Amino acid sequence: MSVPHALLALLSAGPKYGLQLREEFEAGTGEVWLLNVGQVYKTLGRLERDGLVESDGTGPEGPQKRYRITPQGGQALAGWLRTPPDLTSPPRDELVMKVLVAARVPGIDPHEVIQVHRLYLLELMQQWTRLKEGEARDDLSLALVVDAELFRLDAVIRWLDAADARLARAAAEPPAPGPAASPAPRLRRLGVRR
Amino acid sequence: MNRPVPGGGGDGNAAVSVLELREVSKTYGQEPAVVRALAGVDLSVRAGEMVAVMGPSGSGKSTLLTIAGSLEEPTSGQVRVCGMALAGMPPGRRARLRRRVIGYVFQDFNLLPGLTAAENAALPLELDGVAVPRARAAGLAALEALGVAGRAGWFPDQLSGGERQRVAIARAVVGDRRLLLADEPSGALDSVNAADVMRLLHEACQRGVAAVVVTHDAQLAAWADRVVLLRDGRLTGQTSRPPGPETLLVPRETR
């Protein structure tokens, strides 16, 4: 996941201090992706220079400075969420991350984000199928590769369908109260302070 | 744009959609228990084009197909097949349109067990009053195009599932049918035979037929020239025509 976009996603829930952002970022990645505080401030500095975030006060970077996302920052985040990841090669975690983030960011309709990716993946599958129809007919290795790719993309689309249905169901019936409730705490680590 | 139709299909007017749905809605039942199966669907399919309709169960896929095939009337909206409006068409003409212009392919093949492959393929023409020798010749030609001419004298229960569906597709395109409507045509087949069925349907389109194929399977839908997504009776999106597959095989830039 891109660090600048992760910070923008965290800030879209409300203004935050640098240290707070670091803590939430690490929590949001299940503590497997650690971030030093210098990296956080460097990234915030760049985001501020590009007009994607703004801070109170004009002093140097430091614990007293609070950042908030600008409308341009919101647009950059929304654009990133809709930018298809490079699914012509294996990493699909980026897509999972986008859907997770889309489900958390205020003002983003995760179903619409899912649809963008679903159509993109279908177009990719159509292209691979054209290969299957043409060259791959007489080339067994290519046919196998094409099939592998089609099954992989098919699996991603099925996951999107399931995610779509799951999000719709979650929106229709809020989770039942009670201690046994749900994977929600883990998800919440993406965007909300513990 | 659409793939050029080899041989032109003899249509002479490729700009006319073979199938045109405009603002088509379909509701079942009475207030307050109305079920809205389709809500304002626009869809047009040109000669030579294969369109896949994808959506979860209950999204209206099969209703769309039965309305396109004039087996059911829409509650509102217009349906045109080869430029002819179905609304107000006398039943006799409508039945003739169904026999002559539209072919259907079903998941369970629907071949008549007492007829050979050739007789099954020729059946729609014979029902339409075409002389038997001419109908049989057209049936054989259709079997030939689908690679099952060698099974012409066989009965359905002697054929494999894949062969049965080939015969069923031959029956659906026999003569000069312009519109092919298929509901989960490879649902009963293993993945290799299922892909063959889609390949054959796509080849039929390349010979000039327009096809609408309903499926819930993305791998099968990907054979189509265009995939439209249906949800709760509405078209929610469609693929734009993808670039050629050659873009897949060039090395990607490293990031």
Residue A193 lies in a domain: no
Q: Which of A31, A47, A77 is the last residue of a domain?
A: A77
B32 in A contact zone (CB under 8 Å):
no
Q: Residue A122: which of B195, B227, B244 has the nearest Cβ?
A: B227
Instruction: Report the distance separating Cα B115 and Cα B143, nearest Å.
Output: 14
What's the CATH code of the domain at A23? 1.10.10.10
Phi, psi of B57 (to 5 degrees): -65, 145
B3 lies within 8 A of chain A by CB: no
- Same structural domain for residues A72 and A91? no
Q: Is A191 inside any structural domain?
A: no
Q: What is the pTM of this model?
A: 0.73
- Predicted confidence (pLDDT) at residue A62 exceeds the cutoff of 70: no
In a domain, A40, yes or no: yes
Q: Do A122 and B218 touch (CB under 8 A)?
A: yes
Residues A59 and A142 in one domain: no
In angstroms, the Cα distances linking B140 to B106, B120, B171 are: 21, 10, 10
* Least Cα separation, residue A155 to chain B (angstroms): 9
CB contacts of A129 in chain B (<8 Å) are: 219, 222-223
A44 and A73 assigned to the same domain: yes
Q: Is residue A73 part of a domain?
A: yes
Position A100 in a domain: yes
Which pLDDT value is given to residue A187? 44
The residue among A52, A18, A56, A24 whose CA lies nearest residue A37 is: A18
CA distance B198 to chain A (A): 10
Residue of chain B with shortest Cα separation from A161: B56
B47-86 burial by CB neighbour count: b if 16+ within 10 A, else e? Answer: bbbbbbbbbeeebbbbbbbbbbbbebebbebebbbbeeeb
Residue with tokens 């009965």: B155
Domain residues for A23? 1-77
Q: What is the pLDDT, as a whole number, of residue B242?
A: 66
Q: Does residue A7 lie in a domain region? A: yes
CA distances from B123 to B4, B115, B120, B210, B251 (A): 30, 9, 5, 21, 52
DSSP states along A157-191:
HHHHHHHHHHHHHHHHSPPPPSTT--SHHHHHTTT
Q: Are the CB atoms for B187 and B179 separated by under 8 Å?
A: no
Counting the structural domains of chain A, the total is: 2
The domain boundary residue, chosen from A77, A101, A122: A77
How far is Cα A57 from Cα A64, in angstroms, rounded to an integer?
9
For A17-52, write each residue's pLDDT tens digit: 988 998 888 776 545 467 888 889 999 999 999 999
Domains identified in chain B and CATH numbers:
8-240 (3.40.50.300)
Beta-carbon separation of A89 and B252 below 8 A: yes
- pLDDT for the residue numbered B2: 45
Asked if residue A190 is part of any domain, the answer here is no
Maximum distance among all Cα pairs of chain B, rounded to whole angstroms: 66
Tens-binned pLDDT, residue by residue, of chain B (255 aa): 444 444 334 444 445 799 999 999 999 988 888 888 999 999 999 999 999 999 888 889 999 999 999 889 999 999 999 999 999 899 899 988 888 899 998 888 789 999 999 999 999 999 888 999 999 999 999 999 888 999 999 999 999 988 999 999 999 989 888 999 999 888 778 888 888 889 888 988 998 999 999 998 999 999 999 999 999 999 999 998 666 666 665 443 333
